[in-house]
Amino acid sequence: MADIEMKGSPKSASPSPASFPPVDNEGAVPVQKNLDFILDIPMQVTVQVGSTKMAIRELLQLGQGSVVELEKLAGEAMEVLVNNKLVARGEVVVVNEKYGIRLTDVISTVERVQQLG
């Protein structure tokens, strides 16, 4: 094999540390303004009343007045999900002839962050 020597470059190059300009906070945006930026982002909020499994045959037999039995017990807390992540539990209430949910247990910030991983 022949040794090839490249002109203008040393045979062994050694890395040198990168240098960056100093960081200052003069142009930094306050934290509150950063939060204001995301406050209007829409999110999907879902209240899960319960669930069940059924065969297609049973599903096709449903009609007006049919009762679908759910896995949750009467009086058991409903789950509040934001973007399919549990954030709270609560009970069903009626407000101005509309259903709502009164939060009885809000998931801690630490638990919510753990759900993200």
With respect to residue 107, please indicate whether it lies within any of the assigned structural domains: yes
With respect to residue 104, please indicate whether it lies within any of the assigned structural domains: yes
- pTM to 2 decimal places: 0.55
With respect to residue 110, please indicate whether it lies within any of the assigned structural domains: yes
With respect to residue 111, please indicate whether it lies within any of the assigned structural domains: yes
Number of domains forming the structure of the chain: 1
Mean pLDDT, range 73-94, rounded to an integer:
88
Helix%, strand%, coil% for the chain, nearest 5? 20, 25, 55
Per-residue pLDDT tens digits for 63-80: 999 999 988 887 888 999
With respect to residue 25, please indicate whether it lies within any of the assigned structural domains: no
Where is 36: in which H helix or E strand?
helix 31-38
User: What is the span of the domain harbouring residue 91?
Assistant: 43-62+74-116
With respect to residue 96, please indicate whether it lies within any of the assigned structural domains: yes
Per-residue pLDDT tens digits for 15-38: 777 776 776 666 555 555 667 778
The pLDDT score that the predictor gives to residue 18 is 75
Rounded distance between C-alpha atoms, residue 106 and residue 80, angstroms: 9
